[in-house]
Amino acid sequence: MTGKKRDDGARYEEIADELRARIDSGQYAPGDRVPGENEIMTTFEVGRDTAWKALQVLRDQGLTETRQGAPTRVRKFERIVRPANKRLSREVWGDGKSMWSVDIVDKRPTPLDVEVQRVELDARIARMLGMEAGLPAVRRSRRYAIGAKPVMRAVSHIPADLADGTPIAEVDTGDGGIYGRLKDIGHAPTLFREEVRSRMPTKAEKDWLDIKRGTPVIEIIRYAAEESGRIVEVNEMILDSSSYVLEYVIPS
């Protein structure tokens, strides 16, 4: 059975790869029907199990979607551009989409479930902020959604000596958000550093983002530093990888 399983594995992956290539190339456009189990069984000369698994790979990767009783279709969901350095992007590349891949649009996710707490820093976050563990901070967690689809979860920590008595400690931080309020009190961030990783989601992350088992997450840890070099915020973000493309512009 292990022998059989392995062959099977290779075959359904090949079929999934072939179908993905057709989606990537635009042969199957968003909203188009993809071949069903029966069609795959005939075209690729495989059994129902293998056909089902191949389709499962596409669903798990967030490439297709199925509504109850309807055929499977290519997911209609344009990726969100996340331009890390908007100023640079606009200045240099303009708003021209000519250089962009076709699947990209400019969309702004809206916040959901904003939670604000006062916490004592644990060792990990304290290290990231360059502070002592146990010191007080404001923790802001929220999700962001496009329509009903959550696409990102973000958890920020801001030292309490900066956040206390400002809207940073309230649910609504006002126009310009956390960075706007830090600027108001003379602690504007002047430099950001982002660490980007990718991995499979935990169970909690799958629930937060409403993603399938086979969809990876992108993890971004963003450090915001003010002029003096002090870290004024650390933001840990978990993104649904199938919803995003990150953009970074880098001067040489």
Closest C-alpha to 182, from 158, 213, 150: 158
Q: How many CA atoms lie within 13 A of 195 on its CB side?
A: 6
208: contact with a copy of itself by CB under 8 A: no
Q: Is 147 exposed, middle or buried (0-12, 13-18, 19+ CB in 10 A)?
A: exposed
Token pair belonging to 75: 């997911």
Binding residues for a copy of itself restricted to 94-153, rule: CB under 8 A: 98-99, 101, 128, 130
Q: Could you write out the DSSP letters of every residue in 167-220?
A: GGGSS---TTHHHHHHHHTT--EEEEEEEEEEEPPPHHHHHHHT--TT--EEEE
244: contact with a copy of itself by CB under 8 A: yes
x/- site string to a copy of itself, residues 188 to 207, per CB under 8 A? xxxxxxxxxxxxx-xxx---
Binding test (CB under 8 A) with a copy of itself, winner from 93, 135, 164, 167: 93
- Region binding a copy of itself by CB under 8 A among candidate stretches 30-38, 66-74, 147-155, 217-225: 217-225
Binding test (CB under 8 A) with a copy of itself, winner from 20, 143, 181, 187: 20
Q: Find out whether 40 and 15 touch, Cβ atoms under 8 Å.
A: yes
Backbone phi, then psi, for 130, in 5-degree steps? 70, 35
68: contact with a copy of itself by CB under 8 A: no
Measured from the CB atom, the residue of 88 and 135 that comes closer to a copy of itself is 88
Footprint of a copy of itself on this chain (CB under 8 A)?
Answer: 9-10, 13-14, 17, 20, 57, 60-61, 79, 84-85, 87-89, 92-93, 98-99, 101, 128, 130, 188-200, 202-204, 213-218, 221, 223, 231, 241-242, 244-252
